[in-house]
A and B are shown apart, each in its own frame.
Chain A
Amino acid sequence: MSTSAGHGAAVRIAACGKTFADGTRALEPATLDIDRGETLVLLGPSGCGKTTMLRIIAGLELPDTGGKVLFDGKDMTSVPIERRNVGMVFQSYALFPNMSVSDNIGYGLKIRGVPNEERAARVAELVALTNISGLENRRIDQLSGGQRQRVALARAVAIRPGILLLDEPLTALDAALRDRLRGELNRLLRALGITTIYVTHDQSEAMELGDRIVVMQKGTIAQIGSPREIYFAPKNRFVAEFIGAANIIEAPIEGGQLVLPGGRQPIGGDATVSAAVAMIRPETIRVVEAGSAPLSGLIDSVSFIGDRQRMVVSGVSGKLLTVDAPNAVVAKAGERVGLLISPDAVRLLPPES
């Protein structure tokens, strides 16, 4: 395809909230800017408002009064979905059962009155792009889950939308296929270079696909940032625990050090506070000889996963501490080990959460 990076429309959501007819607040008024060509992931547990936000952008839901949706600076709030030129992939794929694969892909073009020849050429292009050659004349009920997902994507992209909206497109697939298709989807989105908004509850999907991630919690935006920022510098405990594994430790601070039952741990940054909630990622903890590190504890259990091993260490902080050690480290349950943590790896979180 003759596409280059920086395609499609820039999106601005201004003070968009959503209260349903029965009074439930699905989304607190939120403001969000999405750059042209960017892939933005809305991430959060079910009921956090991510799908509501996607549907507001799509034009399937109206925001509460005062909310505005702008595409390239143009107010689209009252424009219905059929005139927003958005491509959408649904969790259920929503493929038309009364049409063949190629009729599904070409439907948006047919509606737009694109001549037969041009339409056939575009459909062929997308069939090749999404690797579904040979399935053009199949009925939808003759396709596997992965094939349906590709057809749904091809159909959404066929109309050259300004914005591509994906609502949990991989959730309906089994784990192995999901991993494979995630990589494929990532390459495809990069190749298309179109503004993409992707809703998921799966943090690894969000990490791999997103230029930026919006973590949502109970109808509010908890944090917006690149995958690295979200992972290494979570703004609160919810984000820290939702993304990856995290040890959350509440402890007093003395002289720039966390005071723990298993020893003292130096911390970076603002050390003037007297107590803190700290987050330490399991893979930032190094297992060393007992006595050669300021912290030490007793190994409770070791699970060998293959590429690494997960240890649970007791006696360091009030709670059990999770440690991801390289697979070469030899350690058994019951042994005493030292734990070495770089001060930069200790992230202080606001205490309220």
Chain B
Amino acid sequence: MSHKFFVWLCLLPLAVVTVAFFLLPMARLVVTGAEGPQGLAGYLAILTEPRYRATLINTVMLAAATTIVTLIVATIAGMFLQRHRFPGRAVLIAMLTFPLAFPGVVVGFLIILLAGRQGLIGDLSSRLFGERLVFAYSIYGLFLGYLYFSIPRVILTIMAAVQKLDVGLEEAARSLGASPWAVQRDVVMPALAPAFVASGAIAFATAMGAFGTAFTLATNIDVLPMLIYTEFTLAANFSTSAALSVGLGIITWFILAIARSFSGSAVAAAG
């Protein structure tokens, strides 16, 4: 048995799994998407049909907002947690990772407890202003839920990246006259860019595709996963839900690819 043959043999299980659980279902999904009354044009409907298009834009905006806010919050918090030692630090970090274990349903439940009809924010605002503030069942509630979901993941990645940061770089920049802001802008942020892309990609993809939270909060929030669900189970519209699924996958993948190439130079430089 030649060495090459042996290597191919070892790759066989991987090939089988890839074909059976990835390529075949994907191919079937793509084909199903084109089997509706409109044929291949069913895919175009994602962009031309106003309801689908609005949902798509909604979803991308929500995912983008979640990613940006998550990155801002997690960078500041992660940097502080990595750079400072204080009593209770270990407990705090452990607590931050707590939500990692929650499924979307639980996150949705927490949002309802916070901003729902009987929620904490509503109680507080009705006592203060005489008006009950309720936003759990809207896209804002969903946004809050996704933040809650994404921040722990991103914080952990950022903390690891901050730990690897050479403090000498910051000291060198300061010795050359850089203000604290300039140090962040010219040294720290470029060095953290790869971590931003990696953790931001996860936050974005999660927010694009997460379903449990949206489903718990309300069935009429206009995001793509909800739309796919309603088309699939309520309208039994297989071809449209397949087309939307493929569309969701491609759009997410495409935006992540852009982000990666956009920060490509920074990633290479931070080598």
Contact = CB atoms under 8 A, between A and B. Distances in A.
A98 B190 contact: yes
Contacts of A139: 269
Interface string A73-105: 000000011110111101110111111000000
A155 interface: yes
A237 to B, nearest CB: 35
B64 to A, nearest CB: 25
A24 to B, nearest CB: 15
A82 B271 CA distance: 27
A94 B171 contact: yes
A98 B270 contact: yes
A83 B174 CA distance: 9
Contacts, number: 72
B270 A96 contact: no
B173 A107 contact: yes
Interface stretch (B2-10, B46-54, B175-183, B247-255): B175-183
Nearest to B268: A139
19 contacts: A60-B174, A80-B174, A82-B176, A85-B177, A88-B171, A88-B172, A90-B171, A94-B168, A94-B169, A94-B172, A96-B186, A96-B187, A98-B190, A98-B266, A107-B176, A108-B176, A111-B177, A155-B172, A159-B177
Contacts of A87: 175
Contacts of A11: none
Contacts of B166: 92, 94
A147 to B, nearest CB: 16
Of all A-B residue pairs in the complex, the 9 with the closest CB atoms, nearest first, are A108-B176, A94-B168, A98-B190, A94-B172, A88-B175, A98-B269, A111-B177, A90-B168, A82-B174
B177 A141 contact: no
A92 B168 contact: yes
Interface of A: 58, 60, 80-83, 85-88, 90-92, 94-99, 107-108, 111-112, 139, 141, 155-156, 159, 165
Interface residues of B, number: 21
B175 A107 contact: no
A135 to B, nearest CB: 16
Contact of B178 (A95, A111, A165): A111
A102 to B, nearest CB: 14
B177 A96 contact: no
A82 B172 contact: no
A87 B174 CA distance: 10
Given A97-B271, A98-B266, A82 B175 contact: yes
A90 B166 CA distance: 11
B56 interface: no
Contacts of B168: 90-92, 94
B271 A155 contact: no
Contacts of B190: 96-98
Contacts of A91: 168
Nearest to B176: A108
A207 to B, nearest CB: 27
Kindly name the residue among A82, A98, A155 whose own CB sees the greatest number of chain B CB atoms within 10 A.
A98
Contacts of A94: 166, 168-169, 171-172
B191 interface: yes
B182 A58 contact: no
A34 to B, nearest CB: 18
Contacts of A90: 168, 171-172
Contact of B169 (A60, A85, A96): A96
A80 B175 CA distance: 9
B269 A156 contact: no
Contacts of A141: 271
Contact of B182 (A80, A81, A111, A165): A111
A98 B191 contact: yes
Given A92-B168, A97-B191, A81 B175 contact: yes
Nearest to A113: B177
A82 B179 contact: yes
Nearest to A58: B175
Interface in B166-218: 166, 168-169, 171-179, 182, 186-187, 190-191
A156 B173 contact: no
A184 B116 CA distance: 72
Contacts of B182: 111
Nearest to A152: B172
A85 B166 CA distance: 22
Contacts of B186: 96, 98, 107
Interface in B148-182: 166, 168-169, 171-179, 182
Contacts of B179: 82, 111
A112 B266 contact: no
A108 B270 contact: no
Nearest to B178: A111
A58 B176 CA distance: 11
Given A92-B166, A94-B166, A98-B191, A86 B271 contact: no
Contact of B177 (A92, A99, A108): A108
A121 B149 CA distance: 52
